[in-house]
Amino acid sequence: MLQEDAYAAEGEHLPHIIGPGMGHAFHPDTRAEVMRRLTAEVRKGRDTDPDSISLQTRTLRYNKCHWLTIEGLDEHWLDSRLDAKRVDYTHSETLSANTQLVVSSSNVSAFTAAPFLDMSGATVIIDGQTVQEPAGLDRPVVRSMFVKEGSTWSWIPPTASGLPPTVPDGALQKAHLLQGPIDDAFLEPFIVVTPTGSTPGAPEVDTYIEFELAHFIRRWEAVIRGVPRVMKDTEINQDQLRRFNLILFGTPESNVHVKTVTSRDGRMALPIGWSADAVTVGDQVYDAKTHVPSFVYPSCFSDYDVLGHYVVVNSGVTHREGHDHNNSLQNPHLPDWAVVDITQPPSRLSPGRIAAADFFDEAWQLK
């Protein structure tokens, strides 16, 4: 679909101004028309408090527009959308009885909204359902959360964590800044943690991990033009473990922190098993001497909240040299987890043969 067609489907018109026979350049008349339109828009100014918002995303990394924020998705990487409109809205602190917030949703399980100076007394309609205001709210009610269970929406006061109150206490849930994929961990401060031990009986695994570690550092220096912080697993302290995303290289035998991550029980239980003999993903079992898991997961070293941290095991950024000829390809090329068959050597496009790969579900478990 052309851009104009996609825009027209939303009831809008997208001007298409092309100079004759110019190729990749501006015709003088076209330049003048473009500048005229841009100048008019600048003079008009940006609407910082619109009455209508259409927010479309596939990830909670990008989940906010003006007074509307998506807090939860039914499933990541599917088209997700909120269309919200204020009706009979005024900027006064006193709202008329028929003040409304009308919302339609797709693949959204929770959102917060702050459309009015005070939402108390407003009528809220979501997907055709009139949502009842909760009793006993402090006044004024500036920001409210709306949560879907099944197909029923409820109006609920925001929680301290920012997570929907339907998430069990202490449970994992994908949330803004903690939703994957692997490459998302490199958008916040991180420390690369290297192994100081070896993996008995699996020298090929250690060789592969050593190569991928060096490859990531070279890629970061060449493409991102920075020098990553690198520490040995025996050097990093508890405060650093708690405050940073951790990029762990090694096996449970060679890196003490990989061992902690893969042997953790309780709410941080990793749904991928890794022993000296096998890598286990659900009912699939892979030989640990020829297969290495790579994944991102909420960090068991930090206090889990909406601003929690990640651990990444055996992966740097997932675009490689073969993706450098066009920067539109320098984006994530692996999801939340992958199992790499190291009998196929690393290439310009892949760390090896990808034996299996997928995203975790919204509770950070296997789909």
> 147 and 202: one domain?
no
Confidence of residue 38 (pLDDT cuts 50, 70, 90): confident
Examine residue 324 and state whether it is found in any structural domain, yes or no: yes
> 315 and 191: one domain?
yes
The closest of 363, 264, 362 to 313, measured between CA atoms, is: 264
> 275 and 318: one domain?
yes
> 58 and 148: one domain?
yes
Examine residue 367 and state whether it is found in any structural domain, yes or no: no
The residues, any chain, with a CB within 8 Å of residue 314's CB and separated by 6 or more, are 209, 212, 248, 249, 250, 292, 293, 294, 340
Bridge partners of 298, per DSSP, are 310
How long is the chain?
A: 367
Q: Check whether 209 has a pLDDT greater than 60.
A: yes
Max mean pLDDT among 43-52, 114-123, 279-288, 322-331 falls in 279-288
- Tell me, what's the pLDDT at 33? 85
Domain ranges, residue 317:
182-358
The closest of 130, 255, 169 to 205, measured between CA atoms, is: 255
> 214 and 135: one domain?
no
Task: Say how many domains are in the chain.
Answer: 2
* Of 139, 156, 173, the domain-final residue: 156
> 302 and 211: one domain?
yes
Q: Which residue has the higher pLDDT, 77 or 165?
A: 77
Examine residue 165 and state whether it is found in any structural domain, yes or no: no
> 208 and 106: one domain?
no
Question: Residue for token digits 């090329």?
Answer: 333
Mean pLDDT value of segment 133-140: 76
293-318: pLDDT as tens digits:
999 999 999 865 445 799 999 999 99
Contact by Cβ (8 Å): 357, 338: yes
Structure tokens given for 64: 């906010």
Terminal CA-CA length for the chain: 31
> 116 and 215: one domain?
no
Where is 6: in which H helix or E strand?
Answer: helix 3-8
Examine residue 294 and state whether it is found in any structural domain, yes or no: yes
Examine residue 169 and state whether it is found in any structural domain, yes or no: no
Examine residue 249 and state whether it is found in any structural domain, yes or no: yes
> 152 and 186: one domain?
no
Contact by Cβ (8 Å): 324, 223: yes
* Of 156, 173, 195, the domain-final residue: 156
> 79 and 211: one domain?
no
Examine residue 229 and state whether it is found in any structural domain, yes or no: yes
Distances (CA, A) of 202 to 95, 198, 248, 253: 69, 9, 18, 10
> 116 and 231: one domain?
no
Q: What is the DSSP string of 180-247?
A: --GGGGGGS-EEEEE--S--TT-HHHHHHHHHHHHHHHHHIIIII-----EEETTT--HHHHHHSEEE
Q: Which residues of 101-125 are buried (b: 16+ CB within 10 A; e: fewer)?
A: bbbebebbbbbbbebbeebeebbbb
Rounded CA separation 3/11 (Å):
13
Bridge partners of 178, per DSSP, are 175
Q: Check whether 86 has a pLDDT greater than 60.
A: yes
Rounded CA separation 126/251 (Å):
48
Examine residue 173 and state whether it is found in any structural domain, yes or no: no
159-197: pLDDT as tens digits:
666 667 777 666 789 999 999 999 999 999 999 999 999
- Tell me, what's the pLDDT at 305? 47
Q: Check whether 1 has a pLDDT greater than 80.
A: no
- Tell me, what's the pLDDT at 31? 87
Rounded CA separation 317/183 (Å):
5
* Of 156, 174, 207, the domain-final residue: 156
> 190 and 308: one domain?
yes
